[in-house]
Chain A
Amino acid sequence: MKRKILIVDDEEVIRKFLRIHLAKLGYEVTEAADGEQAIEQLGKDDFDLLICDIMMPKKDGWEVIKEVKSNPKTKNLPVIVLTAKNEDSDMFKGYDLGANYYMTKPFTKAQLLYGLKLMFDETPEEIRA
C-alpha cells in the first residue's frame, strides 16, 4: 500500500514539483494551500507524513503543527517543516513544537530524499532501485 503524504504550502509551484517528485517516488500525495485546508484534510484522512510550510495565510504552519501534535489521533504523524525562514531560532522552534525534520527553501531533491529516508527509515523505491 502506498504511503500517504499531505503537502501544505501556499505556493502552487512548490506543491507542484513536490507532487511530481513524490508521485514518482511512489507516494500518494494530497495538497493543501493553507493551514485551514490542511487541518481539514487531516480530519478526513489518515496520513503517513505531513510536509508543511510555515508562512501561510489564514493559519500558519506553527499552528498546524501545534494542532497536529496536540491531537491524539495525529500526534505520532511525522512532520517535515518546509520554510523560507532560515534562522536558527525558527529551526529550534520547529523542533520544539515536535517537527521531525526541517528543510529551508530553496532545497534540492536530494535534501527531500534524505528527509524521507529519515522519516520512514527506509529508502524510497527509486533509491532502492
Chain B
Amino acid sequence: MEDQDRKKVILSLRWTAIIVTSYLILFGRGRVMDPQLSHILITGYILSNVLLTFLPKTWFSNSKLFYPLVIFDTGIVSFGMYLSEKMTTDFYLVFFLIIIFASISRNFKMLMAIGGITALLYGVLLYSWGFLFSKDGSSYTLRIPFIFIMTAFYGYIVQTLTTEKRQELTISEDKYRGLFENANDGIVLLRNPQLIIADVNREVEKVTGYTKEELLRREAFDLFAPEEIEKARGYFKEVTEKGEGRADCLSLMKKDGSSLEVDLSTKRIDLGDESFYQMIFRDLTEQRKLEKKIGESKRNLEAIFDGIRDQLSIQTPDYQIFRVNKAVTENYKTSFKELIGRKCYETYFQRSLPCENCPISVTIETKQPASSIMKLSEDNTTLQIFSYPILDEKGDLLSVIEYVKDITEEQQLQEQLIQSEKLAGIGILASGVTHEINNPLSGIIGMAEIALEEEDPSKNKEYLNDILNCAQRIGEIVKGLKSYSRVAKKEDLSPVDLNEVLEESLKMVRLAIKKTSVEVIKKFQLIEKVQANMGEIQQVFTNLITNAFQAMDGNGGRLVLSTRSLKDSVEVKVSDNGNGIPQKYLNQIFDPFFTTKNPGEGTGLGLNIVYRIVTKYGGTIDVESKEQLGTTFTIKFPLRRVEA
C-alpha cells in the first residue's frame, strides 16, 4: 500500500472511530459519568486526528507512529466506554474499527497484541459493571473471545495477503537485482544530493577492480581519474540541475591506478522516500581497441594501395575517379584532389567517351573482372588494364577498381625471349646444320680441286655442275634458318597450311638430327588454313618433332604426325613411341627453363615457347605420356577466333 493511501485510510478510519465514539459518548443510551472529562476526551481525540493530517505521509509507513496511535485510540475508546456506563454493545463495534485500523500495520503479532489488549480492556470494563460472570451479562462475556478470534481472523487474512504480496515483491526484486547485477554496463547508484555511492553492480567491480564494499559510501568523484575530476564535477552539476545527463569519454581510475575510458549516462530516480542518481557507464576500452584495429588495417590497406607501383584507381560506375594510388598521382604529376570526380577516360586517355575496348565497361555490365590491352600510339606504350568489381552485400555494383599495368617492357622482353629461344633453337640445330653444310661444302672443295687438275675441259662442265648443286643446297639451308629466326609481328599473319608447315618442319628437323631408324607416318587430312605466322607455327612443330626424335633415342622409333578438322578448330597430333615423360614432370614441362636434359643441352624454353605461341593464337595444347611407351602432343587451333 502506498504511503499516500495509507495516510488517507488511517485518517478516515480514525475520523469514523472519532464520530462513532463521540456520538456514543454524547448521545448514547448510557449515562455519562463525567461530562466535562467526556468533552475533553472527544476534543483530544478530534485534535489528534487534525494534527495527524499535517504530518508527512512518509510517517504513516513508520511503525513508530502507527503503534502508539493504535494503542492511543484503544485507550480513548476504552476510557469512553468507561465514562458512558453500560454502552457495551456500541463501543464493542468501535473496537472493531480500531482492530481494522490496526490491521493496516500488516503485523500479525502486533495485531494480536492489540486484539489481546482490547479483549482484556473489554473484560475489565465488563467486570467493573458486574456483567462478566452474571447471567444477563453472559452474552457480553462471550464477546471477549470473539474479539480475540476476530482479531486473529483479520490478522490471518492480512498476513496471508501481505505474504503473497511480499513474495511477489521478492520475486520481482530478485528479477530487477539480476538485471542490475548482470548488466553489461556498469551501474552506480548515488544518493541524492550527496553523490555518495549507495550500490554498484558487478560490472563496476569488474572494470574498476574495486569490490562493492570498498566503493560503498565513497563519493562519486572518487571514481574518476584525478585529472578528470573537474570535468566530472561539471557533469554532475548539469545532472543535478536537469535530473539527467550524458558525457562521452570520461576517464575512471581503476584500483591499480590505470585509467579507463567510459561514456556516462546519469538519471535521477526516486526509490521509496529516497532519491538517487543512477549512473550507467560503458567501458570504451574494447571499442577503442576495435577502432585502433580498424585504423591500423585501414592504414595497412592504404600503404599496400600506395605501395603498388602499378596504377590503381577506384571509380564509380559512371567512370568517375574517387580514389587513386600514388603511382597514378606520380605518373600524371598531379594531386589526388585534381583527379577526384574526373572521368577516367578524360584523365588517362584524353578522350571524351570511354575507350572502345575498355574493361571497365565490361565490368560495369557484367559485374565480372575484365582485362584488355591498350596500345598508346603517342609513346608506343602498351598498357594492360584489369578491372575488378566491388559489390555491396546485395550484389549491386558499388565501384570498379582499375588496375593499369605498363607492359611495354614485358612485351619487349617477351619478344626478346622468343627471339633468344629461336637463337637457342638454332644452336641446337647448328651442329646438325654444320654437318649438312659441311657435306656440300666438301663436295664443292673436292670437285673444285678435281676440276683444277682436269685437263679435259669437256669434263669440267660436269664438275662445275656438281659444285653448283652443292652451293644451291647450302643456299636452301641458310634460307630455312632465316625464316626460323624471324620475330613474328601482327602484320606477319597470313593463312597457314598446317600440313605444309608440318612437312617443312619435319624436313628441318631431319637436317638437324639424322636419326637412322625413325619411321615417320603422316596422316594428314585436308584442313582449313589457320590465320597465323608461318615462322611461329614452324617453331611449334620443329620443337615438338625435335623432342620426339630425341625421345626415340636408339630404338627403332615411329613418329606419327596427324592433322584433322574438328567442328571449329583444327587438330595436330605429334606422337612418338619414345621414352615418355615421367608422370611427375608432366605438369612442369611447359614451364620456362624446365629441362631434364644436361646443362648446355637444353634451354628449357622449347615447350614454353610452344605453349606461348599456341595459346597466343587461342589454341590449346595437351600432352599424354607413358614412360617407355611414348608421348603424344595434341594441339588445337581455333578457326574462328583470330587474334595475335
Contact = CB atoms under 8 A, between A and B. Distances in A.
Answer yes or no: do A and B interact.
yes
Interface of A: 11, 13-14, 16-18, 20-21, 24, 35, 55-60, 83-87, 104-109
Nearest to A21: B450
B441 A106 contact: yes
Given A24-B453, A56-B514, A109-B449, 11 more contacts: A11-B439, A11-B440, A13-B447, A13-B470, A21-B449, A59-B516, A60-B516, A85-B431, A105-B439, A105-B441, A108-B449
Contact of B440 (A13, A20, A56, A87): A13
B12 interface: no
Q: For A20, A105, A108, which residue has the most chain B Cβ atoms within 10 angstroms?
A: A105
Nearest to B452: A109
A106 B431 contact: no
A17 B449 contact: yes
B469 A13 contact: yes
Interface in B510-525: 514, 516-517
Interface of B: 431, 434-447, 449-450, 453, 466, 469-470, 514, 516-517
10 contacts: A13-B440, A13-B443, A13-B470, A16-B443, A16-B447, A17-B443, A35-B516, A59-B516, A85-B435, A106-B446
Given A13-B446, A18-B446, A56 B436 contact: no
Contacts of A109: 446, 449
B19 to A, nearest CB: 144
Contacts of B435: 55, 83-85, 105
Q: Which of B439, B440, B469 has the most CB of A within 10 A?
A: B439
Contact of B450 (A20, A35, A56, A106): A20
B431 A87 contact: yes
Given A57-B514, A109-B449, A84 B443 contact: no
A53 to B, nearest CB: 9
B516 A107 contact: no
B517 A17 contact: no
Contacts of A105: 435, 438-439, 441-442
A80 to B, nearest CB: 14
Nearest to B440: A13
A106 B450 CA distance: 14
B442 A86 contact: no
Contacts of A11: 439-440, 442-443
Nearest to B470: A13
A57 B516 CA distance: 4
Given A17-B450, A55-B435, A86-B434, A107 B445 contact: yes
A58 to B, nearest CB: 5
Contacts of B445: 106-108
A84 B438 contact: yes
A58 B470 contact: no
Sort A-B residue pairs by CB-CB distance and give the 7 closest, nearest first.
A17-B446, A13-B443, A84-B435, A84-B438, A105-B438, A105-B442, A106-B442
Contact of A84 (B439, B449, B516): B439
Contacts of B441: 105-106
A3 B67 CA distance: 161
Contact of B442 (A20, A60, A107): A107
Contacts of A83: 435
A11 to B, nearest CB: 5
Nearest to B432: A55
B195 to A, nearest CB: 103
Interface-centre pick from A57, A58, A59, A84 (highest chain B CB count, 10 A):
A84
Contacts of B469: 13
Contacts of B440: 11, 13
Contacts of B434: 84, 86
B466 A106 contact: no
B466 to A, nearest CB: 5
A33 B449 CA distance: 23
A106 B516 contact: no
A35 to B, nearest CB: 8
B516 A58 contact: yes
B444 A84 contact: no
A73 to B, nearest CB: 24
Nearest to B433: A84
A108 B514 CA distance: 25
B460 to A, nearest CB: 12
Contacts of A13: 440, 442-443, 446-447, 466, 469-470
Contacts of B438: 84, 86, 104-106
A24 B446 CA distance: 14
B215 to A, nearest CB: 96
Nearest to A18: B446
A36 to B, nearest CB: 10
Contacts of A24: 453
A15 to B, nearest CB: 10
Contacts of B446: 13-14, 17-18, 21, 106, 109
Nearest to B441: A106
A24 B459 CA distance: 15
A107 B436 CA distance: 15
